[in-house]
Chains A and B, each alone.
Chain A
Amino acid sequence: MTSKSETGQKSQLLNDIETKQLTPTIDRASVRCVNLRDLGFVGYVSDAALEAIDKNEVRASLVLTTSTKFAFR
């Protein structure tokens, strides 16, 4: 019980500490904000790009089948 009471006092003390907001404030008065969906755009990666990514990773795996062909001297 005693420890509970001490914890409570500590919380009270912490609440009394004066804090300052340090996050920079940004003047948004002249900034226009839009949701891209409202403009008809959703940035999903295209099929062509997905194919390029896959191709790239397949090329990397080719190494496994060719690795013992080489010995760097």
Chain B
Amino acid sequence: MRITFTGFGLNPAGAQKLKQILAGDRSSPCAEALVAHATDIGAKFAVLEEPYTDQDYSSDYLNFYASAFKDHLRYTRRVHLFTEDISGWFAKSLADQASDKSIDSSYLGFVVVRPIRQGPIGRTLLRFPNLGKGLTARMAARAPSEIHLYGKKLSVTSAPFIQQDRRIGACAQAAIWMAARPMHMRHKRTAWHSIAEITRMATTPTDAEVSQELPAGSAGLNPMHIIRALKAMGHQPLHHYFRDADGKPKSTPASEIILRYLDSGLPVVLGMTSDAGDIAHAIAAVGYVEVAGGVVRPGTTYDSFVRALIVHDDQRGPYRLIPLTADDIDHLPRDRLLMEAEKVLVVDEIVSHMFVPLPPRVFLRAERADIVAADFLTLQAAAGFGEKLANEASDAAAKAAIADFYAKVRDEKLIRRTYLTSAGRYRHHLAKSSLSAPIKAELMTRQLPHFVWVTELMDPTSAQISSNGPRQLVGHMVVNATSSTDPNNDLLMAHLPHVLINRDINPPADKRDHIEFVETAEIFPDETPYCGRLREAS
């Protein structure tokens, strides 16, 4: 069998052809959304490669379709998308094709088309959207991958997407796949898992609920099944339920909690349930939409800068937006909003569950790290500690900056951005920052655990310093993410204006009976502004 390549332009007729390739004659909101996303990111030309051996579909085939009485094809097709017509590249000699870099920048990614009618859209790697209008799409599930097209190596950074096939897996398995696959591709910390393997892990041991459907698990998973699957895949599942015992949303918005994990580069599985019971659906959150300017709503946490989560919904398509609140709806591109009939779905109303595939060594929740960081500042401000520290400073500018900072803490005029990182990545960011060298050196030579929660502190008016750039900080705090024995031992360091606080939780042996930790403050006369960690944008 030979591989064939067929190219076509994505004018309206071409877009229709692409939709037909993806969904046949069936109505498919997912295929429509996918085609709309492709054209939105600039796709002008498609190349259909067939046959294509896809590892994920091969696993599906081996586990189910090969044993079906009806014949299913063994191979898939793959559609590559480009921002320009690349027919000329195919006309070159094979040696020139492989070395020619002219098509590299025009490559947008691909869609695998499976030979199964009920769920044809297979593994899909397409670039994140550019949203315009002062909106920045930040990537949480950022998976770089290399693709080979006819001997030519191409690359794309994406959040992998897949549609459920309703036989081997339902939306929950697709959402787990979409959250876990980029973790595998980027960090290689966990193994490669197909949908069939996810179903096997979720349904082992079996129970009465999964046994109601054949094949087991094909009609959906409950939270316990999702947790089982994530654990068996090598993650440390963190499950959060955003409702109280009566099923009503809790006072802390779900978006505030979800965002800290996304901002840590961790894609999350979200469960959506409605009061009426007509929605019980799982999706994967793969990024978030941040505004370029200051906060868009009152608050003290980073979600105040955020309008929406970027989600993959296996039924509604890739890169959909789910607004954090109803007030955000009008500020977002309407054609990307997650809808149920005519109603726009909103995070704080519809998201009831969250499942985070955490690294196994992280033993402290983001919420706790944020509470501990905020509490430390509040206690200091309440005790008049700012004035005492300001008095210790010899420099008038330093005195004013310290006093001003604690006044902001008292007035709740600071935004906290809490995210997980490794000590190595923390030091790497710090080393590159414009923070004064003596403070930087002091911070970088402190011993840290492998994982830390960093809480950046910034003004509510702090805008991106350049297009899609970072925001200026007034300080940051570091919390131990690897132990949860005692909240008093969580905070390790804090950089506040002109002040560096270090908490040594392992004091000298002869003092351990008397004191739990030693806290020192170093006051620096000079300081230069610096920016927060930049999560990559599309």
Interface residues in chain A, defined as those with a beta carbon under 8 Å from any beta carbon in chain B: 23-24, 26-27, 30-37, 39-46, 48-50, 52-53, 56-57, 59-60, 62-63, 66-73
16 more CB-based (< 8 A) A-B contacts, given A30-B524, A49-B374, A72-B175: A23-B445, A31-B525, A34-B520, A35-B520, A37-B519, A39-B388, A56-B371, A59-B241, A70-B280, A71-B209, A71-B220, A71-B221, A71-B222, A72-B172, A72-B282, A73-B220
Task: Name the residue on B nearest A48 (C-beta).
Answer: B375
Is B281 in contact with A72, judged by CB distance below 8 angstroms?
yes
| Neighbouring A residues of B241 by C-beta, 8 Å | 59-60, 62-63, 66
Known: A27-B438, A49-B375, A62-B245. A68 touches B222 (CB 8 A): yes
CB-nearest residue of chain A to B247: A66
Please, which residues of chain A bring their CB within 8 A of the CB of B327? none
A49 and B488 in contact, given A34-B521, A72-B170, A73-B281 (Cβ under 8 angstroms):
no
A59-B241, A62-B241, A68-B224 as given contacts; A30 in contact with B521, CB under 8 Å = no
- In the complex formed, the residue of B with least CB distance to A68 is B222
Which residues from B are CB-within-8-Å of A62? Answer: 241, 243-245
User: When chains A and B are docked, how far (Å) is the Cα of A72 from the Cα of B392?
Assistant: 58
Query: In the bound complex, how far is the Cα of B525 from the Cα of A73, in angstroms?
Result: 59
Identify which of A35, A45, A72 contacts B220 (C-beta below 8 A): A72
Q: How far is the CA of A32 from the CA of B380 in the complex (A)?
A: 19
Q: How far does the alpha carbon of A70 sit from the alpha carbon of B441 in the complex, in Å?
A: 51
Q: Are B170 and A73 in contact (CB under 8 A)?
A: yes
Closest 10 CB pairs of A and B: A49-B375, A72-B282, A73-B220, A36-B519, A67-B223, A71-B220, A45-B487, A63-B241, A72-B172, A32-B523
Interface range on chain B (Cβ under 8 Å from partner): 35 or more
Q: Name the distance in Å between B56's Cβ and chain A's nearest Cβ.
A: 20
Which residues of B sit under 8 angstroms from A68, Cβ to Cβ? 209, 222, 224
Contacts A56-B368, A63-B239: A73 and B393 contacting too (C-beta < 8 A)?
no
Instruction: For the complex formed, measure the closest distance between the CB of A8 and the CB atoms of chain B, giving whole angstroms.
Output: 32
Taken together as a complex, chains A and B put the C-alpha atoms of A37 and B282 apart, in Å, by 50
When the two chains form their complex, are residues A26 and B380 in contact, meaning their CB atoms are under 8 A apart? no
B250: contacting residue among A49, A59, A72, A73, CB under 8 A: A59
Residues of A within 8 A of B379 (CB): 41, 43, 46
* B residues less than 8 Å from A73 (CB atoms): 170-172, 219-220, 280-281
Q: Is the CB of B491 within 8 A of A33?
A: no
Q: Which residue of B lies closest to A42 (CB)?
A: B519
A31 to B385, CA, bound (A): 19
* Among B240, B273, B488, contact of A45 (Cβ-Cβ < 8 Å): B488
Determine whether the beta carbon of A33 is less than 8 Å from that of B222.
no
Asked if A31 contacts B222 (CB within 8 A), the reply is: no
A33 and B170 contact, Cβ closer than 8 Å, known pairs A41-B383, A70-B273, A72-B271: no
Cα separation A39 to B388 with both chains bound (whole Å): 7
What chain B residues lie within 8 Å of A52 (beta carbons)?
371
Is B226 on the interface with A (CB-CB < 8 A)? yes
Contact at A72–B519, with CB atoms within 8 Å? no
The listed residue (A24, A40, A42, A53) touching B368 by CB distance below 8 A is A53
By the criterion CB–CB under 8 Å, are A33 and B388 in contact? no
Separation of A39 and B519 alpha carbons in the complex (Å): 11
> Hey, which chain B residues are within 8 Å of A30, CB to CB?
394, 524-526
Complex CA distance for A50 and B488, rounded to whole angstroms: 10
Q: Which of B171, B375, B388 contacts A46 (CB 8 A)?
A: B375
**Cα of A26 to Cα of B393 in the assembled complex, Å:** 18
Nearest CB of chain A from residue B351's CB, rounded to whole Å: 12
**Once bound together, how far apart are the Cα atoms of A26 and B440, in whole Å?**
10
Task: Verify B438–A56 contact, CB threshold 8 A.
Answer: no
Contact assessment for A35 and B518 in the assembled complex, using a CB-CB cutoff below 8 Å: yes
Q: Are B519 and A67 in contact (CB under 8 A)?
A: no
Shortest distance in angstroms between A34's beta carbon and chain B's nearest beta carbon?
Answer: 5
> How distant is the Cα of A27 from the Cα of B526 in the complex, in angstroms?
12
Q: How far is the CB of B88 from chain A (nearest CB, A)?
A: 46
B226 touching A49 by the CB < 8 A rule? no
Say whether A67 contacts B224, CB under 8 Å.
Answer: yes
Chain A neighbourhood of B143, CB < 8 A: none
Flag whether B104 is at the interface (Cβ < 8 A).
no
Query: Known interface pairs A67-B223, A73-B219. Does A36 touch B520 (Cβ–Cβ under 8 Å)?
Result: yes
Interface assignment of B522: CB less than 8 Å from any CB of chain A? yes
Closest to B239 in A: A63
Question: Which residue from chain B places its CB closest to the CB of A35 in the assembled complex?
Answer: B520
Contacts of A59 in B (CB 8 A): 240-241, 244, 250
Contacts of A50 in B (CB 8 A): 487
